[in-house]
C-alpha cells in the first residue's frame, strides 16, 4: 500500500467549549456528485475525532505541497493546535488553514465501522478553491508534491532563463578553475529544497564528470550558503532534515551558517585516511540529479549526504600546515541583498600548505565580487 500515494488533508472544527480541533488525515476522498458526498477515515483511537464526530459541521482543508511543516506541527500537538498558525473561518464557522489549496465544509452523513478505522461519510455544504496549486502528497512514508508535464516544461523554460542570466560570468569561472586546477560550479537555489547547477568550468586535467550532480538537495550539510540568510524557522527546518545526527553535529551546522555570514566562505576537509570521502556523496547527488526518485530513494540519498565522512568542522588554517580540501563554497548576493547563488570549488589538487589554501579562498572571494557585479548589471539591463 506504500506504493500508492494519497492526498493530505486536515479536518477542522470548533468544539462547544471553544476548543479549535484539527485532525491530519491521508484518507480523504470524493465519493459522489449526486448527492455531493466525500469521506475520510480516522483511526478509532483518535481522541480528536471523538470530539469532531459530535460537531454539527466540519471543514476539510486540502493541503498544498508547501505545507508539510504544518502537518508536523498539528500532528505533534495535543492541544492549542492552531498556536502560531494563520487561519480564517469558512461560511460554516470552521477554521480554514491559510495556504491550503481548497476547503470543503461538510456535515456527517454516516459513520461506518471498518476494522481499526471509521469510514466517515460526509455531505458537502460548501467549498472553494483558495490557492490553485499542487497538493501535498504522502507516499512511501514521505511527503512531496506533484509536477505535471506542463509544469515541468514551464520550469525548464525558467531554468533556461537562469542560465542565460549568468552566462556573462563564464569567463570568471573558467579563469578561477584554470588558475587553481579545480572544478568551479555556480548553483542557484530554485526552491527552498533544491539547488540547480547553472554554470560550470574545470581546470586542465580535472574530470568534469567526477563531481556532484547537476541538482543538489538542500539538506545538511549542503545549503548553508543559502540558509544562513533565511529566517530562523527555515534554518531549523533545514537542520531537522538531518535525521538521526547528534546535537553536536547540528550545532556544527549552525556554527557554519554563522561563519559564512561573517566571513563569506566555508571550507570542507577530506579526512587524512580517506581521500575518497566524497565518492559516496558525489554518487548520491548524481542519483538525485536523475530525478523521478521515490521518497524512499530520496531519503537514502539524503542520509548518504549527511552521514558522509567529509569533515565540516570549522578550523583556523595555519599557513604552514598541509590540508586536504574537499570543497569551498561562497554565497553570491543579488543586487537586492538576497542570497540565491552559491559558488562551489571542488576536486582540488592533492594536499597543499595552508598559505595556498588561503590564496584559494581569496581567489574565490574575488570571483564572487566580479560575479555579483556582472549579475547585477545583467538584471539591471533586463529590468
What residues have CB less than 8 Å from 201, skipping those under 6 apart? Answer: 170, 173, 174, 176, 177, 178, 183, 184, 185
pLDDT tens profile 130-140 = 887 778 888 87
According to DSSP, the residues that pair with 331 across neighbouring strands are: 342
pLDDT tens profile 176-199 = 999 999 999 999 988 888 888 888
The answer to whether 21 touches 154, Cβ cutoff 8 Å, is: no
Instruction: Say how far apart CA 313 and CA 180 lie, in whole Å.
Output: 23
pLDDT tens profile 49-66 = 999 999 999 999 999 888
Mutual angle of helices 149-166 and 354-382, in 10-degree steps: 110
| Mean pLDDT for the stretch of residues 108-118 | 96
- For residue 155, is pLDDT > 80? no
Instruction: Say how far apart CA 39 and CA 116 lie, in whole Å.
Output: 16
Instruction: Say how far apart CA 273 and CA 276 lie, in whole Å.
Output: 9
Q: What is the largest CA-CA distance in the chain?
A: 80
pTM above 0.75, yes or no: no
The better pLDDT of the pair 309, 211 is held by 309
What's the count of helices (H) and strands (E) in the chain, helices before strands? 10, 20
- For residue 107, is pLDDT > 90? yes
- For residue 109, is pLDDT > 50? yes
pLDDT tens profile 61-90 = 999 888 888 888 888 787 788 888 889 999
pLDDT band at 162 (very low <50, low <70, confident <90, very high): low
The answer to whether 269 touches 323, Cβ cutoff 8 Å, is: yes
pLDDT tens profile 324-365 = 999 999 999 877 778 889 999 999 998 999 999 999 999 999
| Mean pLDDT for the stretch of residues 248-277 | 88
pLDDT at 213: 64
pLDDT tens profile 357-381 = 999 999 999 999 999 988 764 443 4
| Mean pLDDT for the stretch of residues 204-215 | 75
- Residue 84: strand, helix, or coil: coil
Amino acid at each position: 500500500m506504500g506504493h500508492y500515494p494519497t492526498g493530505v488533508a486536515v479536518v477542522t472544527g470548533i468544539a462547544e467549549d471553544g476548543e479549535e480541533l484539527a485532525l491530519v488525515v491521508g484518507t480523504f476522498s470524493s465519493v459522489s456528485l449526486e448527492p455531493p458526498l466525500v469521506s475520510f477515515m480516522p483511526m478509532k483511537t483518535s481522541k480528536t475525532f471523538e470530539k469532531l464526530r459530535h460537531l454539527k459541521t466540519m471543514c476539510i482543508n486540502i493541503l498544498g505541497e508547501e505545507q508539510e511543516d504544518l502537518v508536523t506541527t498539528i500532528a505533534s500537538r495535543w492541544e492549542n493546535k492552531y498556536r502560531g498558525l494563520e487561519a480564517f473561518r469558512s461560511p460554516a464557522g470552521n477554521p480554514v488553514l491559510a495556504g491550503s489549496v481548497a476547503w470543503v465544509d461538510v456535515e456527517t452523513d454516516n459513520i461506518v465501522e471498518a476494522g481499526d478505522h471509521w469510514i466517515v461519510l460526509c455531505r458537502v455544504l460548501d467549498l472553494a478553491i483558495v490557492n490553485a496549486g499542487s497538493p501535498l502528497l504522502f507516499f512511501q512514508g514521505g511527503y512531496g508534491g506533484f509536477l505535471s508535464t506542463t509544469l515541468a516544461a514551464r520550469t525548464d523554460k525558467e531554468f533556461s532563463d537562469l542560465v542565460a542570466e549568468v552566462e556573462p560570468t563564464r569567463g570568471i569561472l573558467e579563469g578561477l578553475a584554470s588558475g587553481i586546477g579545480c572544478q568551479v560550479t555556480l548553483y542557484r537555489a530554485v526552491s527552498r529544497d533544491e539547488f540547480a547547477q547553472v554554470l560550470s568550468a574545470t581546470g586542465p586535467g580535472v574530470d568534469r564528470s567526477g563531481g556532484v550532480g547537476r541538482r543538489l538537495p538542500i539538506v545538511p550539510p549542503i545549503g548553508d550558503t543559502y540558509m544562513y540568510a533565511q529566517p530562523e524557522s527555515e534554518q531549523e527546518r533545514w537542520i531537522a532534515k538531518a535525521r538521526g545526527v547528534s546535537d553536536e553535529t547540528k550545532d556544527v551546522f549552525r556554527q557554519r551558517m554563522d561563519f559564512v555570514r561573517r566571513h563569506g566562505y566555508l571550507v570542507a576537509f577530506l579526512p587524512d585516511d580517506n581521500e575518497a570521502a566524497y565518492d559516496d556523496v558525489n554518487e548520491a547527488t548524481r542519483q538525485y540529479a536523475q530525478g523521478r526518485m521515490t521518497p524512499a530513494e530520496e531519503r537514502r540519498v539524503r542520509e548518504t549526504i549527511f552521514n558522509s565522512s567529509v569533515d565540516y568542522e570549522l578550523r583556523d588554517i595555519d599557513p604552514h600546515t598541509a590540508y586536504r580540501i574537499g570543497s569551498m563554497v561562497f554565497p553570491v548576493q543579488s543586487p537586492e541583498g538576497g542570497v540565491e547563488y552559491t559558488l562551489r570549488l571542488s576536486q582540488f589538487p592533492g594536499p597543499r600548505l595552508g598559505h595556498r589554501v588561503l590564496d584559494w579562498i581569496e581567489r574565490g572571494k574575488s570571483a564572487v565580487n566580479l560575479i555579483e557585479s556582472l549579475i547585477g548589471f545583467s538584471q539591471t539591463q533586463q529590468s
